[in-house]
């Protein structure tokens, strides 16, 4: 959550952040009022407790004839303190609830507005001219069906819509993508973790996914556990309630996991093929670092994502996501969007977010202040290396006129196959 001192010292900046996100700036004023009332109640309660302590001393030293009166006053004071304590606890709870509703403070330079108000930072790679090559590009589902690697019908029969089967070379391709990610992650100094896919409520809430993403999360009511839509949740929470040592530099982790999303708000959107599914594979990166290093680490995560995209030879652009399209935890987010020939537009393949201290405050991840003034929150960042969705961009951008798909070298090496061909 946001630091209360930041809210007190820079309320206009927080209001501006709310407006840029398309959120209500009045929440800032409500929080300031709750904070003021809570602090006033704290002072009054401390004063009452000090007075109670003084009365206790007086009662102990009082003459016999004074004791009945002092005892009556002490009982009245205890009752007042009981009521004041309850009121104080209610104010604390109201303040905590309101604070959880406040998204992270955006970083200067983030574009204001919604999904379509992003800023394009760069474009990379060459789009193929299929007209010059003499054929019209097929979409990934037609290609996948003809190649015998994507089966939507059986998935729908077994689990419902948005649950595809991958088979044969489709599975090998998905595994190759994830292996490539893990190989690059190792070269970039990330420690691999095998993470839980089921987490408890404090973990899910602490990472911010019960705020803006709650409707997309599968919940197992009998167990009180949530299925994660990204290993970011478990990776960030790895150091919850800990004081970490960052003297040797940032902590960098990666995980490949099965992820689950309800896609509750996407009815009728991307229903064809495997672009938006309820279950998929994903390789994620998370960094825990000092607050001062967060923006540099954000650029590093983007570099890693771009490195992998360059290796699979897919045209893409990098965008600075607008404030209204950020999750509640993110202060800034960069997306890499691949060119999808059949749609003639760019679609998101990766994203990387700087969450500053927002998640760390919720999960109580701290470091010893380098200046020697106690402990302070760390910064956390995350970045997608790849997901099953990458198969869409790879099939479409590397398809041939005869319906085959030539895999780029790094994937061919890891999949054990150079060319995907329709079964004879």
**Catalytic (active-site) positions:** 261, 276, 348, 351, 389
Yes or no: say if 170 and 149 are a contact pair by the CB < 8 Å rule: yes
**CA–CA dist 250, 124 (Å, integer):** 29
Q: What are phi and psi of 218, to 5 degrees?
A: -80, 130
As a three-state string, the secondary structure of the chain is CCCHHHHHHCHHHHHHHHHHHCCCCHHHHHHHHHHHHHHHHHHHHHHHHHHHHHHHHHHHHCCHHHHHHHHHHHHHHHHHHHHHHHHHHHHHHHHHHHHHCCCCCCCCCCCCCCCCCCEEEEEECCCCCHHHHCCCCCCHHHHHHHHCCEEHHHHHHHHCCCCCEECCHHHHHHHHHHHHHHHHHHHCCCEECCCCCEECHHHHHHCCCCCCCHHHCEEECCCCEEECCCCHHHHHHCCCCCEECCCCCCEEEEEEEEEECCCCCCCCCCCCCCCCCCEEEEEEEEEEECHHHHHHHHHHHHHHHHHHHHHCCCCEEEEECCHHHCCCCCCEEEEEEEEECCCCEEEEEEEEEECCCHHHHHHCCEEECCCCCCEEECEEEEEEEEECCHHHHHHHHCECCCCCEECCHHHHHHHCCCEECCCC
């Amino acid at each position: 959550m946001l630091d209360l001192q930041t809210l007190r010292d820079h309320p206009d900046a927080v209001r501006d952040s709310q407006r840029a996100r398309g959120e209500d700036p009045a929440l800032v004023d409500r929080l300031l009022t709750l904070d003021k009332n809570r602090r006033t109640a704290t002072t009054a309660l401390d004063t009452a407790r000090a007075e109670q302590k003084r009365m206790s001393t007086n009662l102990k030293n009082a003459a016999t004839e004074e004791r009945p009166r002092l005892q009556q006053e002490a009982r009245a004071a205890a009752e007042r303190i009981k009521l004041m304590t309850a009121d104080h606890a209610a104010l604390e709870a109201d303040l905590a609830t309101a604070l959880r509703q406040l998204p992270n403070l955006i970083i200067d330079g983030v574009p204001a507005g919604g999904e379509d108000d992003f800023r394009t930072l760069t474009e990379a790679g060459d789009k193929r001219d299929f007209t010059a090559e003499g054929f019209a590009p097929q979409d990934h589902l037609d290609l996948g069906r003809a190649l015998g690697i994507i089966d939507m019908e059986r998935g729908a029969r077994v689990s419902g819509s948005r649950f595809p089967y991958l088979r044969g070379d489709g599975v090998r391709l998905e595994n190759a993508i994830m292996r490539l990610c893990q190989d690059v992650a190792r070269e970039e100094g990330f420690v691999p973790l095998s993470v839980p896919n089921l987490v408890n409520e404090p973990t899910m809430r602490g990472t911010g996914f019960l705020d803006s993403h709650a409707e997309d999360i599968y919940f197992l009511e009998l167990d009180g556990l949530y299925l994660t839509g990204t290993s970011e949740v478990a990776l960030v929470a790895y150091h919850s309630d800990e004081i970490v040592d960052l003297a040797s530099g940032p902590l960098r982790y990666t995980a490949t996991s099965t992820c689950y999303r309800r896609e509750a708000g996407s009815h009728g959107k991307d229903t064809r093929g495997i672009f938006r599914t309820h279950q998929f594979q994903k390789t994620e990166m998370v960094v825990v670092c000092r607050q001062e290093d967060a923006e540099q680490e954000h650029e590093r995560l983007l570099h890693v994502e771009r490195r992998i995209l360059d290796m699979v030879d897919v045209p893409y652009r990098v965008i600075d996501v607008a404030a209204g399209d950020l999750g509640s935890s993110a202060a800034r987010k960069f997306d890499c969007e691949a060119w999808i020939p059949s749609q003639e537009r760019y679609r998101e393949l990766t994203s990387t977010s700087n969450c500053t201290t927002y998640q760390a405050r919720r999960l109580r991840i701290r470091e010893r202040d380098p200046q020697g003034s106690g402990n302070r929150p760390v910064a956390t960042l995350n970045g997608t290396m790849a997901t099953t969705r990458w198969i869409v961009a790879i099939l479409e951008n590397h398809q041939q006129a005869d319906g085959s798909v030539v895999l780029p070298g790094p994937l061919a090496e890891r999949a054990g196959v150079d060319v995907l061909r329709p079964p004879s």
